[in-house]
């Protein structure tokens, strides 16, 4: 299973979210058609831009609780001081990808970033 974990700022567009996910897939040489799930922190999962980007990517949207993200905090590769201060976890993108990748989940590398969004790709057996 291939999962994209996404973090983004409040007023991001669906275009930018879609762009960062496609950029991350390109970095790891994965075709967009193989992407199954796109995840983020539950408070952000309700943002219309996120839902629209996931729809465009023909994937399934998954929301992760802060507790979910905290459980994998020790496995993320990149620390965001802003996310740590505001959410209490070191990462949204990388942690979301790991949570949803589930058993045997692993990040393919560090997150990819645009101006207002980040994306990490993980593979695993699913939750």
Write the pLDDT tens digit of every residue in 74-116.
999 998 888 888 888 999 999 999 999 998 999 999 999 999 9
The domains of the chain are located at: 2-123
2-123 CATH:
3.30.420.180
Round to whole Å and give the CA distance between 95 and 99. Answer: 6
User: What is the per-residue pLDDT for 84?
Assistant: 83
**Which residue has tokens 């990517």?**
57
Does the structure show a pLDDT above 80 at 127?
A: no
Tell me the per-residue pLDDT of 49-61, one tens digit each, with 9 for 90 and over. 999 999 999 999 9
Q: Per-residue confidence at 46, pLDDT binned at 50, 70, 90?
A: very high
DSSP string, 62-83: EEE-HHHHHHTGGG-S---HHH
Query: Pick from 36, 37, 47: which is nearest to 8 by CA?
Result: 47
């Amino acid at each position: 299973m291939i999962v994209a974990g996404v973090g983004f700022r409040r007023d991001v567009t669906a275009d930018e979210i879609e762009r960062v996910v496609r950029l991350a897939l390109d970095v790891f040489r994965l075709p967009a058609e193989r992407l199954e799930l796109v995840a983020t922190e539950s408070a952000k999962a309700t943002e219309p831009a996120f839902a629209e980007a996931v729809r465009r990517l023909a994937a399934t949207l998954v929301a992760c609780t802060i507790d979910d993200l905290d459980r994998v905090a020790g496995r993320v590769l990149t620390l965001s001081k802003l996310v740590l201060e505001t959410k209490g976890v070191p990462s949204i993108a990388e942690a979301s990808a790991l949570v949803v990748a589930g058993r045997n989940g692993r990040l393919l590398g560090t997150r990819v970033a645009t101006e207002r969004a980040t994306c990490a790709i993980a593979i695993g057996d699913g939750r």
